[in-house]
Structures are given as C-alpha cells and as structure tokens.
C-alpha cells in the first residue's frame, strides 16, 4: 500500500488527526505547566515573586535551541491538524448530499462529538489572537519590556500578560477560547486513542476518565490565568 | 398489553425513480391495530393506495423477522424507529399512539442512492464485502468443528460482530455517512477467528479502499451508529478495525 493512500483513506485521515491531536495534547501539558508559574505570585506561595519564576521559565524556553527546534515541529503539527481536520470535515459533510427532514440529533451522541470542526475553528481563531498577543512579540518583534534577574536580561512576559488581561473583553475572549478547547478535548482525548486502535474496554474506560480529568484541570488552570490577573490575585506590582 | 386501534398521519418520502426529485406526501391511515408491525401498517396503506388507483409506496422488506437486513426506514428521525435494538419489521405499532404524525424517510447517504420512494441501492455494501469480506477455503470434506482451538473471548467477540445484518442503519445515522461500523463488524467477525486470520491484512486494506470508492465518510466516534444498530454492534469494533488497518498498512510490502 502506498504511503499517500495510507494517510488519505477514510481511516488513514483519522489516524493522522489522532496522532497530531495527541502531539498537541502533550504540548498543552508543557504549556499549562510552564504558565502555571504565574501562580507562584499568589500570597499562599511567594507574594514577592512578581512573575520572576514565570519570566525565567519563559526565558529558558525561548533561549533553548532544542525548544526552538521543537517549536517548528509544533507548528507543523498544528498546521497538519488544522488542514487535515478541515479536509476530513469537508469530505464527511459531502457524503450526504440530501439531508433528513427529521434529524437524529443528540440521540446517541454528544454535542461536542458532533461539533469538533466548530470547536476546532473557535480554538484556531483564539490561537491567532493568542499568538499575536504573546508569541509574536516575545519571539519575533521583541518589543517587550526587559527585566533582569541574576544579571541576566530577559523579556518581562509576565508584565505583558498583566497588561493584556486588564481588559475585561480580552478576559472574556480567553474564557470562550479556553471553553472551546475544553469541549474539543472532552471528545478529542479519548477519540484520538480510539482512532489509533485502542479497543480494549478496560483501557477505554481509563482513557475516557483521564481525558475528562485532563480537559477539566488543564482548562481550569488556563481559565484562572486571565481571571487571576484581571482580579489582581497575581500582579507585577506587589 | 392492552390492544388499541389508532388513526395516524404519515408523511412519506415519494420519489418516482433515481434521477427525479422527490417530495413528502401526507397520508391518513385509520383503525391501525397496536398489534401490527410497522410494515403491516404500510401494507394497509399500500392496499388503500391501490384501491384508490394510486402508486403504492415502494419499500424494502424480506424476512420480516429481524434477520435479513432488508427493511430500512428512517422513522421520525431514527433508523428503524424509536425502539432500541429493533429492525423496522420488528417495530410494532404499540410504539405509537392515536393521532401521531410519523415521518418516514429513506436512508440518506451518497453511498445509498434512492431507487424509488423508500428503497435505496445498498449494493455498495456488497462491493465492500466482495473486496475482502470473506475467507478463501479449498473445497473438500468439512473439518471437524473442534479441530481448531479458538479462544472463548475471541469467539464471543467474533460472534457478536457476526450479528451485523448489513442493513445500513449505521450509515443512515452517522453524521458523516460512514460505513465504519458495518465494515469493522465484518473485519472483526472474520479476523478474530483462526480461519480468517491469514487474510487479515489484505482484508482490511481492500475493504477500506473500497469503502472510500463507494462514497462513505470517516468515523469521528460520535457513537450514533452504535446507538441505533438493531443488532447492537459495538463501536469498539471500529477501533479494532483502525488498529488492524494501522498494522496492515505499516507492515504491507506492496
């Protein structure tokens, strides 16, 4: 069987979606872990941190060649997931030229499982805004304020976050984006494992539970970031 | 269960042939017994239409005992109607009450073009089976049933998958019109048994390839197919088929 056909058949396309999806899930673990460093500024931990832990972690990620190379892999993964995702959706939608008068609707399936393309599109739009607000200024245009720790000068990404999340509408936009990501993951996490062939019911139950837990915890942490800055639970000025 | 009669309004898809446009027509049926099957109710309606000199409604049916897979009506937005794990022929009128309006449509999928009224062309499934849904055996004496040991779990899973009657309800319910549940049932049914094992790789690759040619979509694991399947074929078969496809595709030398 030719490789081109292997990856473009009805099953192959889904295997590509699953593998890139799982890769992006692994990225989310790193991303949410690193960004959670902002919570070190909470009074419960170190109220005088003022974002130094987060800034230094972000600097480590930006300065490390390995991470920068992995960024290219990440970009490729995201693009493949988006392009293949739309290709699958367009193809699937074209398979029923004439629809039903009365639809099956939610009998037997969840809303998010039927709305992965819509949710994915919302996540994509959110991603464009997110990249423009943070990744672009820190990696490309370098127009962020500088801060120095232990004699090493670096971007004050924490300050940038704080400034961005002082606007209520931005916080709401982020919450919508994170919610879309959460619903996308609620179906995507276990569905990805099913697509690559996990059929053992014992593992499927485990993966479904893990997927629900993962989606809720990751999205809750992401949602708390803009909220805690907007409400000044953490800030660069303590 | 108490017997009762009912009067019903039926909105049925009428389409003279494959190429013409169809439309819904509304019919009234009276004094329908709650003991009747859904198809018997259609027989009553058709007799009524014949008596009136009108064209009776074409619909697929054969065994009328839930095992042949011919009946195929999309009733009130659900393949085979409201009852769980039931084919249209086994659906009885006690599922409805007096005064109900029932909308009856044919399966909708590009892989199942409408031939006339509620009859669709499901030969695409035959061609998928012809692509690999078989085992090649030499003729000769029948082998003793116990000669080949088969693990009980595999035998059970294979038998459960073999219950698929290829009615196409999974395709009709799937938002992607995917034939994955049907195909995976055949792949699991044969591939789990020692007799079907030698051709396992070619089988899944050929059948998936044929499914693509026939105009069916990909599986997105919504679970709608499993929910409406009259034979309760499990969606885990689809994951098993994906696994077989992955291994077969990676290890194929062609």
For B234-243, the pLDDT digits (tens) are 999 999 999 9
| Yes or no, beta carbons of B242 and A194 under 8 Å apart | yes
Residues of chain B short of pLDDT 50, as ranges, are none
Contacts for A142-149 with beta carbons within 8 Å, 24 or more apart?
A: A147/A52, A147/A55, A149/A52, A149/A55, A149/A56
User: What class, spelled out in words, does domain B123-251 have in CATH?
Assistant: mainly alpha
Nearest to A199 among B13, B239, B247 (CB): B239
**H runs (alpha helix) in chain A:** 3-8, 10-35, 52-63, 65-93, 111-114, 116-130, 136, 157-164, 168-195, 201-230
Q: State the pLDDT at residue A47.
A: 87
ipTM of the complex: 0.92
Q: Is the fold of B5-105 the same as that of B123-251? A: no
Q: State the pLDDT at residue A68.
A: 87
Q: Would you kindly state where each structural domain of chain B is located, as residue ranges? A: 5-105, 123-251
For A78-111, the pLDDT digits (tens) are 999 999 999 999 999 999 999 999 999 999 999 9
The whole-chain average pLDDT of chain A stands at: 94
Contacts for A137-140 with beta carbons within 8 Å, 24 or more apart?
A: A138/A58, A138/A62, A139/A62
For A41-70, the pLDDT digits (tens) are 999 999 889 999 999 999 999 888 998 899
Q: State the pLDDT at residue A77.
A: 96
Q: Could you confirm whether domain B5-105 is CATH 3.10.20.30?
A: yes
Percent of chain B with pLDDT over 90: 92
| Yes or no, beta carbons of A108 and B224 under 8 Å apart | yes
Show Cβ contacts of residue B27 under 8 Å, excluding neighbours closer than 6 positions: B9, B10, B12, B45, B48, B49
Mean pLDDT of A196-209: 93
Contacts of B230 in chain A (CB under 8 A): none
How far B219 CA sits from the closest chain A CA (Å)?
A: 8
Contacts of A195 in chain B (CB under 8 A): 219, 221, 239, 242
Compute the distance between CA of residue B106 and CA of residue B12 in angstroms, rounded to an integer.
9
Confidence of residue A181 (pLDDT cuts 50, 70, 90): very high
* Residue A103 neighbours by CB distance under 10 Å: 12
> For residue B184, what are its two tokens?
């995976």
For B151-207, the pLDDT digits (tens) are 999 999 999 999 999 999 999 999 999 999 999 999 999 999 999 999 999 999 999
| Yes or no, beta carbons of A15 and B238 under 8 Å apart | no
| Yes or no, beta carbons of A92 and B212 under 8 Å apart | no
Interface of A with B (CB under 8 A): 1, 5-6, 9-15, 88, 91-105, 107-110, 113-114, 116, 187, 191, 194-199, 201, 204
Q: Which of A129-133, A173-177, A200-204, A213-217 has the weakest average pLDDT?
A: A200-204
Residue A227 pLDDT exceeds 80: yes
Q: What is the 3 state secondary structure string of A66-93? A: HHHHHHHHHHHHHHHHHHHHHHHHHHHH
Compute the distance between CA of residue A215 and CA of residue A189 in angstroms, rounded to an integer.
8
Under DSSP, is residue A102 helix (H, G, I), strand (E, B) or coil?
Answer: coil
Beta bridge partners of B114: B120
Percent of chain A with pLDDT over 90: 86
Cβ-Cβ contacts under 8 Å between A and B: the total is 147
For A10-39, the pLDDT digits (tens) are 999 999 999 999 999 999 999 999 999 999
More confident residue, A6 or A103: A103
Nearest to B243 among A99, A187, A197 (CB): A197
| Yes or no, beta carbons of B239 and A198 under 8 Å apart | yes
């Amino acid at each position: 069987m030719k490789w081109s056909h292997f990856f473009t058949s009805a099953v192959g396309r889904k295997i590509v979606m699953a593998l890139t999806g799982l890769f992006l899930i692994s990225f989310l673990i790193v991303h949410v872990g690193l960004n959670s460093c902002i919570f070190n500024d909470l009074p419960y931990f170190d109220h005088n941190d003022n974002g130094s832990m987060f800034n230094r972690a972000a600097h480590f990620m930006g300065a490390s060649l390995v991470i920068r190379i992995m960024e290219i892999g990440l970009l490729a993964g995201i693009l493949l997931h988006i392009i293949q995702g739309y290709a699958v959706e367009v193809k699937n939608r074209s398979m029923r030229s004439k629809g039903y008068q009365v639809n099956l609707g939610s009998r037997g399936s969840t809303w998010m499982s039927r709305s992965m393309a819509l949710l994915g599109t919302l996540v994509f739009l959110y991603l464009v805004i997110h990249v423009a607000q943070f990744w672009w200024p820190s990696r490309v245009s370098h127009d962020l304020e500088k801060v120095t720790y232990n004699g090493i000068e670096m971007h004050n990404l924490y300050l940038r976050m704080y400034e961005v999340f002082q606007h209520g509408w931005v916080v709401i936009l982020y919450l919508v984006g994170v919610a879309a990501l959460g619903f996308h993951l609620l179906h995507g996490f276990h569905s990805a494992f099913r697509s690559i062939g996990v059929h053992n019911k014992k593992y499927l139950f485990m993966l479904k539970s893990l997927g629900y837990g993962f989606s809720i915890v990751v999205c809750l942490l992401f949602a708390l970031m803009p909220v805690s800055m907007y409400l000044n639970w953490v800030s660069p000025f303590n | 269960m108490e017997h009762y009669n009912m009067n019903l309004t039926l909105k049925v898809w009428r389409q003279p042939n494959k190429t013409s446009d169809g439309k819904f027509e509304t019919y009234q049926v009276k004094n329908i017994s709650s003991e009747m099957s859904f198809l018997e109710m259609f027989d009553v309606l058709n007799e009524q239409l014949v008596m009136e000199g009108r064209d009776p409604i074409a619909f697929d049916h054969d065994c009328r005992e839930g095992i042949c897979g011919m009946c195929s009506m999309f009733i009130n937005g659900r393949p085979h109607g409201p009852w769980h794990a039931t084919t249209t022929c086994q659906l009885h009128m006690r599922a409805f009450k007096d005064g109900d309006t029932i909308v009856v449509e044919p399966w909708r999928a590009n892989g199942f073009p409408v031939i006339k009224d509620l009859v669709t062309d499901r030969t695409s499934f035959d061609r998928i089976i012809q692509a690999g849904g078989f085992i090649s055996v030499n003729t000769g004496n029948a082998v003793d049933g116990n000669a080949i040991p088969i693990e009980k779990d595999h035998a059970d899973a294979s038998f459960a998958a073999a219950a698929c009657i290829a009615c196409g309800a999974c395709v009709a319910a799937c938002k992607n019109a995917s034939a994955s549940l049907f195909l995976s049932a055949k792949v699991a049914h044969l591939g789990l048994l020692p007799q079907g094992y030698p051709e396992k790789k070619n089988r899944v690759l050929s059948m998936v390839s044929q499914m693509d040619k026939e105009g069916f979509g990909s599986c997105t694991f919504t679970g709608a197919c499993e929910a409406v399947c009259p034979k309760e074929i499990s969606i885990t078969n689809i994951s098993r088929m994906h696994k077989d496809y992955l291994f077969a595709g990676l290890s194929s030398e062609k």
